[in-house]
Amino acid sequence: MSYFIDRRPNARNKSAVNRQRFLKRYRSHIKRAVEESVNRRSITDMERGEKVSIPTKDISEPVFQHGPGGRRTVVSPGNKEFAEGDRLRRPSGGGGGGGSGEGQASNQGEGMDEFVFSLSREEFLDFVFDGLELPHLERKQLRVLEETRPVRAGISREGVPARINIVRSMREAHARRIGMRAPLKRALREARDALETEERKDPVLRNPSRIDELKAEIERLEKRIEAIPFLDTYDLRYNHLTNQPMPSNQAVMFCVMDVSGSMTQAHKDIAKRFFLLLYLFLERNYEKVELVFVRHHTVAKEVDEEEFFYSRETGGTIVSSALSLVDSIIEARYSPEQWNLYVAQASDGDNWDDDSSTCLELLDESLMHKLQYFTYVEITPHAHQALWEAYDMVRAAYPERFAMQQIVQPEDIYPVFRELFRQRSQA
């Protein structure tokens, strides 16, 4: 009568679609909550999900109900001291007292006005980066590369046994068998009918030679039908694979930061958050993202992450040193043919007087041709200096691939980031 089934290996995300529907429906609510939380929490813990709450009244599913008022009788358990006819003060705030049978007001004050739920990390980041896009992804993807991968490309008549498409082969065989048998079967039926009519005739009228002839014919046809092969090499079909060029799915992100004396730890924190956001964003678009940290004061140096953010340096500032180092690293290790290259630079805007024009030259002549995108954030409450002006000219020359923004406080990071990567209309 009873049997057990182990369903544990089955898929466990049966509700995923419904969950997505819900998130989609309350998109604006959730987005607001996510934006608040991005500004509130330190960007270093972007890696976890987020608790989101939505006012219950916004997501209620209305049904006809009794409202408070009128006369109702409620039966409750646990009488201790009441006697019939006792009069009690109406509990304050309870409106019309208990409901009717079910849904008595919750005593746990929380959780009634707000519908609270958690977003997973993926969903959270989806909302964080919602409406943003990496500019010029398509350019690199269209470029033909040596890398290829096999993809399904229909059915072919030739192939290796390992790729036999059984269903298609059997279908072909079936069709062939039907096709080849049909005329034989028809002839066979006719011969049998003829034989039968012949045999039904009066023995005197029978034509023995005709009967023998028909019998031989039937035998011949039966043999031929039997000889039709169940599966012929002609029937075989193979899954066909072709090699398709694979778009490059790897990116390098160069983090360039000024570490001269004028950059305080607060500046660096802001820069770090900005880099992190960019990193997370790139990570969602590419399978593999490599990071290169380049810091500079008067000379540039490639360092590891720890040193990049936390070692202290002093001295003047020559931005071009970093840019030329980036250029040489690209030459040495990251061919633009195979890598999507991104540079994110953070600085307080200081630069050695004559250097800004060198930067302009370097960018214009060499770097900008290789890069996917260059973002520059200037972390300063003060007026812009020569570097900003030089970069402004680069922006004018490469409006599609160069972006710059100013950040004053940590709260600006997310809005600035959104501004830099805002989805651009195709116009």
List residues near another protein by CB under 8 A. Answer: 1-8, 10, 12-15, 17-25, 59-80, 82-90, 96-98, 100-104, 106-107, 115-118
Structure tokens at 348: 């307080």
Structure token pair of residue 50: 């987020």
Q: How far is the CB of 78 from another protein (least distance, A)?
A: 3
Determine the Cα–Cα distance for residues 149 and 87; give it in Å rounded to an integer: 83
77 versus 399: smaller Cβ distance to another protein: 77
Residue 325, amino acid:
L
Shortest Å distance, C-beta 40 to another protein: 20
Instruction: Collapse the DSSP code of 318 into the 3-class scheme (helix H, G, I; strand E, B; otherwise coil) and give the result.
Output: coil
Residue number with CB closer to another protein (19 or 31): 19
Coil, helix or strand at residue 129: coil
Kindly tell me which of 111 and 316 has the beta carbon lying closer to another protein.
Answer: 111
> What's the closest the beta carbon of residue 16 comes to another protein, in angstroms?
9
**Least distance to another protein from the beta carbon of 99, Å?**
8
In the complex with another protein, which residue's Cβ is closer, 25 or 201?
25
Answer left, alpha or beta for residue 69, where phi above 0 means left and psi between -120 and 50 means alpha: left
Strands across the sheet with 402-407, in order? 300-303, 288-296, 250-258, 340-347, 373-379, 402-407
Nearest approach, Cβ of 49 to another protein (angstroms)?
A: 11
Nearer to another protein, 58 or 158 (CB): 58
What is the closest distance, in whole angstroms, from the C-beta atom of residue 86 to another protein in the complex? 4
Paired strand residues for 303 = 293
Q: How many CA atoms lie within 13 A of 30 on its CB side?
A: 25
CB of 26 to another protein, least distance (A): 8
Give the nearer residue to another protein in terms of CB position, either 62 or 208.
Answer: 62
Q: Which is nearer to another protein, 74 or 408 (CB)?
A: 74
CA distance 349 to 357: 14
Cα–Cα distances in angstroms (integers) from residue 22 to residues 32, 50, 56, 211, in the given order: 15, 16, 14, 80
Sign of CA dihedral 393, 394, 398, 403: negative
To the nearest 10 degrees (0 to 180), the angle between helices 16-25 and 27-40 is: 80
Distance CA(127)–CA(119), nearest Å, equals 10
Strand 114-119, strand 50-55: pairing: antiparallel
* Cβ closest to another protein, residue 4 vs residue 233: 4
Rounded to a whole number of angstroms, the minimum distance from the CB of residue 81 to another protein is: 10
